[in-house]
Structure 1
Amino acid sequence: MLNLAQWHRNAWLNRLQSALLMAFMMALLALLGLLVWGEEGLSMLLLLAVVLLLLSPVVSPWLVLRLYRARPLHPAEVPALYDMLAEIARRAELPAVPTLCYVPSDLVNAFTVGGKRDAVIGVTDGLLRNLQWREIAGVLAHEISHIKNGDLRVMGLADLMSRLTRFLSLFGQLLLLFNLPLLWADQVQVNWWAVALLIFAPHIILLAQLGLSRTREFHADLNAALLTGDPEGLASALAKIEVGSRGLMDILFPGMNLPEPSWLRTHPPTVERIRRLLELRQQPARPVWQQVWEPGRPVWVRQATRGPRYHWSGLWY
């Protein structure tokens, strides 16, 4: 059983932080539009945002998964795993049970693509072989929480605002460059605070975007604990994923490849995520993984044939 008082407190803080970060990004974008185009710039900026949203290509989840050489897992191959997934999806009130895809990689990882009705969760061979049932349940619940919360859509909107900010910043700096002769002739006055904002706005909104990503990860952890009733399972999985993702340099020099300060990371520090999850412990209960686990059914029977590789998108798989 969860500490519901602590859960509601953390959930409220996560929602508040997400709302404040989104409001800040929108306000910064509106201010840049006002500086570059004046009052008419706000309506033009809104129109541009709508056009970009409509013209953004809708990428099929299967196209993304093909890049990672993933293949669908049929329920007959992993019946117990699909039973667990279906129960978590039912608790999350999703309109459809996500499809599982197998990624032939030793890396301990999972990710999700698609929307609520066409979601696909990719799980690596390393994850299926190295995690216990309760840990796999926690990871699947975390990914389903991202689907339920619409995090892909939220982060897509944040990315759109970030790209618009970079465009406005570049456009404003080009205008300033073209007006340099007038500046030297003292025929125009420049608000240097506005110039500084134009220069640093892309960096500021990027930090806000990173903060939003971290907050959504915390919230997905929180909802996963509620869906499974077992916060320790996800905490244990996160610890194993952290160890499994380390290379030789990380072992020799811990934390070497992690951005510092910590708020420059897209994901929160694993230690902080585990601490927040363990705060939710209260009374032992029968979690979801115990309700659907069936002895004697292996999760997977095939060994990955290659180690982790670097993908052009910046992800290891």
Structure 2
Amino acid sequence: MRPAPGIDPLVRARHLRRNRLHTLLLGAGAVLLLTLTAWTLAGPDGVLWAALGGALSVLVAARFSSALVLHLYGAREMTAAAFPDAHTIVRLLAQRAGLPRMPRLYLVPSRLVNAFSTGTREDSAICLTEGLLVRLTPREFVGVMAHELAHVAHGDIHVMAMADMVARMTGIMSLFGLALVLVNLPEALAGGAGVPWGTVLLLVVAPTLGTMVQLALSRTREFDADVGAASLTGDPDGLASALMKLERIHGRMWEAALPQGARIPDPSVLRSHPETGERVRRLRELRAVPEDWLPVEAMPHVAGRSPVPDTGAPRRRLSRFGTWY
């Protein structure tokens, strides 16, 4: 992916090197933690079974159909006739990203302000909520679409699926190992054997460490997608503006659900996305000379009104992912 003229190439290269190094270290750390847990549980045989289980999980994840994800969220495909500007934007961004095929666009009937991508470089989809379409300006919309295209181009969907698999396997093996320790503990104490506190400690902390590594990897991939989005559009300020707006909207939603004066503790190590302020700072470091490649300001947009034709009132429903509207 070549950077657009509006991006400082030296700053971009520095960000990419840092993000790739973090990805490599975090990925290696997750695999090492799983290996230690498997070795503690069953020695070399445990490592072998973990490797076989991981390989099988990767094959399943690679064949995991994005259609199931779209169905779970109740997404409906947006045709070019329904929202031509969005299709024009995504088609141009997909060409710039070197994708063999433009991602399909789907609408999720929700007032939440969100977007996500799924699938592979050859067959991908981008889902947008009605709340996102209502709130963003055309310039901000381009930045968000470029961010999702960057996730697809970088293969982040598979990277995070593999990280989730490693974290889950670590948790399962830790739970199974602790169960074995508890079952054999009375016999060990009766025989005068000491308690293997080192093993117990590893099995206790391994699931938490695995989750923290997974979240850190997610944050790194978000940083990388931000750089990729800025490289595609040449306008890091567009994405930065969208991120700040999403932060304000989500903050108001959480505060409205809490008693007056209450605040949600939000440690950075427990976030799946980086802090917005840091993302905006890094994006602004990339600024060079803006490139006028798409006349987004000329696109019609009325604040508070979705550009997609009305499909009726959204329905409240429960799913395994929580309550949607």
Question: Would you say same fold, with TM above 0.5?
Answer: yes
Percent identity between matched residues is 41
Equivalent residues of 2:316, 2:323 under 8 A apart: no
Q: Among residues 25, 34, 37, which one is paired with 1:32 in the alignment?
A: 37
- 277-286 vs 306-315, which moves further: 306-315
Give the superposition deviation at 1:104.
2.6
Matched, 1:305 2:310: no
Show the counterpart of 1:244: 249
- 241-250 vs 203-212, which moves further: 241-250
Show the counterpart of 1:282: 288
Equivalent residues of 1:107, 1:308 under 8 A apart: no
Show the counterpart of 2:155: 150
Give the superposition deviation at 1:187.
4.2
What are the Cα deviations for residues 154-193 of structure 1, in whole angstroms up to 9, with x where unaligned? 1111111111111211121122112212322244344311
Calculate the TM-score normalised by the size of structure 2.
0.87
Show the counterpart of 1:191: 196
Equivalent residues of 1:112, 1:119 under 8 A apart: yes
Q: CA RMSD in A?
A: 2.6
Equivalent residues of 1:103, 1:122 under 8 A apart: yes
Classify 1:307/1:289 alpha carbon distance in 2 versus 1 (closer, same or farther; 3 Å). Answer: farther
Q: Among residues 247, 250, 268, which one is paired with 1:262 in the alignment?
A: 268
Give the superposition deviation at 1:55.
4.8
Matched, 1:100 2:108: no
- 302-311 vs 74-83, which moves further: 302-311
What are the Cα deviations for residues 7-28 of structure 1, in whole angstroms up to 9, with x where unaligned? 1111111110111001011111
What are the Cα deviations for residues 169-228 of structure 1, in whole angstroms up to 9, with x where unaligned? 112112211221232224434431122001110011111111011111111111000001
Give the superposition deviation at 1:269.
1.4
Matched, 1:203 2:208: yes
Letter in 2 for 1:313: F
Letter in 2 for 1:202: P
Unaligned runs of 5+ in 2: 1-5
Classify 1:254/1:90 alpha carbon distance in 2 versus 1 (closer, same or farther; 3 Å). Answer: farther
Classify 1:166/1:80 alpha carbon distance in 2 versus 1 (closer, same or farther; 3 Å). Answer: same
Show the counterpart of 1:176: 181
Q: How many residues align?
A: 314
Secondary structure at the counterpart of residue 266 of structure 1 = coil
Secondary structure at the counterpart of residue 294 of structure 2 = helix
Equivalent residues of 2:99, 2:153 under 8 A apart: yes
Give the superposition deviation at 1:33.
1.4
- 205-214 vs 242-251, which moves further: 242-251
**2: CA distance, partners of 1:196 / 1:72:** 49
Give the superposition deviation at 1:241.
1.6
Equivalent residues of 1:32, 1:169 under 8 A apart: yes
Letter in 1 for 2:275: P
Letter in 2 for 1:18: T
Matched, 1:82 2:90: no
Equivalent residues of 1:106, 1:304 under 8 A apart: no
Matched, 1:222 2:230: no
**1: CA distance, partners of 2:53 / 2:17:** 33
Mapping of 1:19-58 within 5 angstroms? 19-55=24-60, 58=63
Equivalent residues of 1:80, 1:294 under 8 A apart: no
Equivalent residues of 1:98, 1:121 under 8 A apart: yes
**1: CA distance, partners of 2:159 / 2:262:** 29
**2: CA distance, partners of 1:177 / 1:132:** 58
Mapping of 1:155-166 within 5 angstroms? 155-166=160-171
Equivalent residues of 2:236, 2:283 under 8 A apart: yes
Letter in 2 for 1:281: R
Give the superposition deviation at 1:254.
8.5
**2: CA distance, partners of 1:255 / 1:213:** 28
Matched, 1:73 2:81: no
Calculate the TM-score normalised by the size of structure 1.
0.89
Show the counterpart of 1:12: 17
- 217-226 vs 187-196, which moves further: 187-196
Equivalent residues of 1:69, 1:104 under 8 A apart: yes
Classify 1:165/1:297 alpha carbon distance in 2 versus 1 (closer, same or farther; 3 Å). Answer: closer
